Amino acid sequence: MAKAETIILNQAGITRAITRIAHEILEINRGGEGLALVGIRTGGDTLAKLICQRISEIEGVDVPLGTVDITMYRDDLAARGSLPVGKTEIPFPLDDKKVVLVDDVLFTGRTIRAAMDALMDFGRPSCIQLSVLIDRGHRELPIRADYVGRNVPTSLEEQIELLFDEDMVPVEVRLIKP
């Protein structure tokens, strides 16, 4: 049975969403002062890099950028086994920073919970905000995003796929129905 695929965002759409999120982050935080971006591996780290570049273009400031791998903080080791552990790189102190966590798709909220736990182990940010490209609903934890590229109502069986080209530039977001 062929799967039905719908393109939710094309490359131009993704670029516009990132630009808007960059503007919103600057607006809400009144500039880039004290700001830091941390992308969640894998997917979120690429988006965080793009947002970081856009902020630099808009505001002329370099916001510190890190990545976090949440494998060590997962709550489903028994169910899914030992997944490969990626590197966490946060080469700056998090204390008193306004940290924007960046992920590609917000779903149950468990990944974000794990990522927040990880950040807490690195220091004490003054606040944590959340930015996602797609919010597909179905939260299992009391978590919401501060910056959303696109809200996409989905059913549990559906999948959201973010596609990258060879240079790890995001080119398309697809909704796949079973």
Partner 1 sequence: MAFRHKHILGIEHLSAEDIQLILDTAESFKEINSRDIKKVPTLRGKTIINAFFEASTRTRLSFEIAGKRLSADSVNISGSTSSVVKGETLEDTAKNIEAMAPDIIVIRHGHSGSPHYLAERVGCSIINAGDGAHEHPSQALLDLMTMREHKGSIKGLEVAIVGDITHSRVARSNIYALTRMGARIRLAGPGTMIPAGIEKMGDVTVFNDLRDAIKDADVVMMLRIQLERQSKTLLPSLREYARYFGLNQENLKLARPDAIVMHPGPMNRGVEISSYVSDGEQNVILDQVENGVAVRMALLYLVSGVDAILAE
Q: How far is the CB of 114 from partner 1 (least distance, A)?
A: 9
Residue from 4, 7, 61, 77 that binds partner 1 (CB under 8 A)?
77
**Cis bond upstream, residue 42 (ω within 30):** yes
Residue from 117, 146, 158, 161 that binds partner 1 (CB under 8 A)?
117
Numbers of helices and strands, H then E, in the chain? 4, 8
d(CA 20, CA 15) in angstroms, rounded, equals 9
Binding mask 122-151 for partner 1 (x = CB under 8 A): xx----------------------------
In the bound state with partner 1, the residue whose beta carbon lies nearer, of 14 and 115, is: 115
Residue from 24, 59, 72, 108 that binds partner 1 (CB under 8 A)?
72
| Interior angle at CA 53, CA 175 and CA 105, nearest 5 | 25
Footprint of partner 1 on 158-177 (CB under 8 A):
none
- The gap between the terminal CA atoms of the chain, to the nearest Å, is 9
12 binds partner 1 (CB under 8 A): no
What does DSSP assign to residue 104?
Answer: E
Which of the ranges 18-26, 54-62, 70-78, 104-112 carries the binding residues for partner 1, by CB under 8 A?
70-78
Q: How far is the CB of 81 from partner 1 (least distance, A)?
A: 4
Q: Is 42 left (phi over 0), alpha (psi -120 to 50) or beta?
A: beta
Q: How far is the CB of 112 from partner 1 (least distance, A)?
A: 15
Which of the ranges 19-27, 32-40, 48-56, 65-73 carries the binding residues for partner 1, by CB under 8 A?
65-73
In the bound state with partner 1, the residue whose beta carbon lies nearer, of 89 and 146, is: 89
Buried b or exposed e, range 79-91, using 16+ CB within 10 angstroms: eeeeeeeeebebe
* CB-based burial label for 122 (10 Å; 0-12, 13-18, 19+): middle
In the complex, the residues that contact partner 1 under the rule CB under 8 A are 69, 71-74, 77-89, 117-118, 121-123
